[in-house]
Amino acid sequence: MSSRDTILKAIRNSQREATPLPTLEQNWLRFDDPVAHFTTVLQSVGGKCIRVSSTTEIDEQLNLFPQFESASVRTSAVEGVGKPTVNIDSINDPHELENIDFAVLEGQIAVAENGAVWVTDKTLKHRVLYFIAQHLALVVRTSSVVNNMHEAYRQLSFESPRFGAFVSGPSKTADIEQSLVIGAHGPRSHIVFLVDDES
């Protein structure tokens, strides 16, 4: 018998009375002002949230950040934003993205509960960008802010082969004597722009 069948058989033999699946229809956490809550939580996990009325304001805000000013290699997936020096689509081997200092990328959903933003590789050729850039800015529509994870999952579908992740703040570690250090392997800083303009 193959290992697969052995394992499945062993499991079936020990199967006890089935427990019904619990329902997720509950009154989950909601906030009076989800945007404000998102901003506070994101700050508590080491990120920063800036609300702008349209994408044209983003560069102006970015200029205020020294990590953007001093970045020599920049890339962007948002039209007209982030003063890119590298075009993502012209690169074939993701290893070549090693030296990206600053990346401006899109996020789909922002979750107030935990400050996380859902990102995917649907329109992005190299998903490694979310993790390899020294500094990261995500651009999300203000209307995509949801209260909690349950609302977020209701919007997600996983039918086609795809990568997606909830990212909440910059990368971090507390592995050296439990002192928190921001910037473990991934980005050292994390800014989320909430854009009011729908166009």
Q: Of the listed pieces 53-61, 79-87, 102-110, 127-135, which binds another protein according to CB under 8 A?
A: 127-135
Residues 129-148 that bind another protein (CB under 8 A): 130-132, 148
CA distances from 84 to 20, 32, 153, 159 (A): 52, 37, 32, 32
The two tokens of residue 78 are 């948002």
The two tokens of residue 60 are 């102006």
Number of residues that bind another protein (CB under 8 A): 71
Which one of residues 145, 167, 192, 194 is an interface residue with another protein (CB under 8 A)? 167
Q: What is the largest CA-CA distance in the chain?
A: 66
Which one of residues 8, 56, 70, 80 is an interface residue with another protein (CB under 8 A)? 8
Q: Of the listed pieces 58-66, 68-76, 82-90, 153-161, which binds another protein according to CB under 8 A?
A: 153-161
d(CA 95, CA 17): 51
Q: Of the listed pieces 51-59, 102-110, 137-145, 184-192, which binds another protein according to CB under 8 A?
A: 184-192
d(CA 57, CA 60): 6
Binding of residue 16 to another protein (CB under 8 A): yes
Q: Which is nearer to another protein, 9 or 63 (CB)?
A: 9
- Of the candidates 131, 133, 126, 130, the residue with the CA atom closest to the CA atom of residue 72: 133
Count of all residues that appear for the chain in the document:
199
Q: Which is nearer to another protein, 53 or 162 (CB)?
A: 162
Which one of residues 94, 101, 106, 144 is an interface residue with another protein (CB under 8 A)? 94
Q: Which residue has the tokens 């805000």?
A: 61
Which one of residues 87, 123, 160, 199 is an interface residue with another protein (CB under 8 A)? 160
